[in-house]
Amino acid sequence: MSRELNTNDGFDLRGSPGKGEGIFATKPFKVGDIVMVGIIKEVLSGNHTHASQISENEYVFHAGLISKVSHSCDPNCGIRVNETGAHDFIAMKDISVNEEITFDYAMRNYTIDHFPQQCMCGSKRCHGRITGWKDLPDEKKKEYEGFVAPYLLELDAKHSCDKVQDIQNDEVKVKSKDRK
Ligand SMILES: [Zn+2]
């Protein structure tokens, strides 16, 4: 058996009703298990429909079936960066056989450029539209803690610094006006 087949152990590609293709578990997983191992196939120069964003300006294609994993607003997997810089999918919940493997696109993309706004995940907790990390509610960000691409948190930190900087600049402007 080839290495490729071994790394696909535990899941396969199936048609999922009304949503096209999806990845389904062929064995049970427990919280914290690595469900899918990420392998970078190609580094891209920009965003693309099936690309994974791995840093502020880096997009890659993952090998194997990772690009086929569907979005859910109530996902059972999250992302952890492995030693190659690729995204492993880690179980956030126990997953049973025949359950679809899902993650939230917001765990990987700061903004969503290539997906329809309307979400079809069908979960009870569906937000109605697919958003990037940037537009995810704070409580959702908390829930996903430890299961998202780390660069998203760096961008958040950077953007909140920008905001503080803007406020400080505004204050300076106000003060200089007062002086006149
Ligand atoms: Zn949804």
- The contacts of residue 1 (CB under 8 Å, 6+ apart) are none
Interval between CA 42 and ligand 1 midpoint (Å): 29
> Which percentage of the chain shows pLDDT scores above 90?
57
Interval between CA 118 and ligand 1 midpoint (Å): 8
- The contacts of residue 90 (CB under 8 Å, 6+ apart) are 32, 33, 34, 35, 77, 78, 79, 80, 147
Higher pLDDT, 167 or 35: 35
Interval between CA 38 and ligand 1 midpoint (Å): 24
Interval between CA 163 and ligand 1 midpoint (Å): 30
Interval between CA 104 and ligand 1 midpoint (Å): 9
Residues 68-97 have pLDDT tens digits of 999 999 999 999 999 999 999 999 999 999
21 and 65 in contact (C-beta within 8 Å)? Answer: no
38 and 94 in contact (C-beta within 8 Å)? Answer: no
Name the average pLDDT for the chain: 85
pLDDT of residue 7: 47
Q: How confident is the model at residue 17 (pLDDT cuts 50, 70, 90)?
A: low
Q: Classify the phi-psi angles of 114: left when phi > 0, otherwise alpha if psi is within -120 to 50, otherwise beta.
A: alpha
CATH 3.30.420.40 applies to domain 11-152: no
Residues 131-145 have pLDDT tens digits of 899 999 999 999 999
Q: How confident is the model at residue 165 (pLDDT cuts 50, 70, 90)?
A: low
pLDDT of residue 176: 59
Q: How confident is the model at residue 172 (pLDDT cuts 50, 70, 90)?
A: low
pLDDT of residue 151: 93
Burial 70-99 (b: 16+ CB within 10 A, else e): bbbbbbbbbbbbeeeebbbbbbbeebeeee
pLDDT of residue 95: 98
Interval between CA 55 and ligand 1 midpoint (Å): 24
Average pLDDT on 106-110 reads 92
Interval between CA 160 and ligand 1 midpoint (Å): 27
Smallest CA-to-CA distance from 68 within 8, 110, 3 is with 8
Res. 4: pLDDT tops 80: no
Tokens found for residue 29: 């997983």
- The contacts of residue 163 (CB under 8 Å, 6+ apart) are none
Per-residue CA distances from 172 to 97, 169, 176, 177 (Å): 60, 5, 6, 9
Interval between CA 60 and ligand 1 midpoint (Å): 24
Interval between CA 177 and ligand 1 midpoint (Å): 48
Interval between CA 180 and ligand 1 midpoint (Å): 54
CA 31/CA 48 separation, integer angstroms? 31
pLDDT of residue 62: 92
Res. 2: pLDDT tops 50: no
Residues with CB under 5 Å of ion ligand 1 are 73, 119, 121, 126
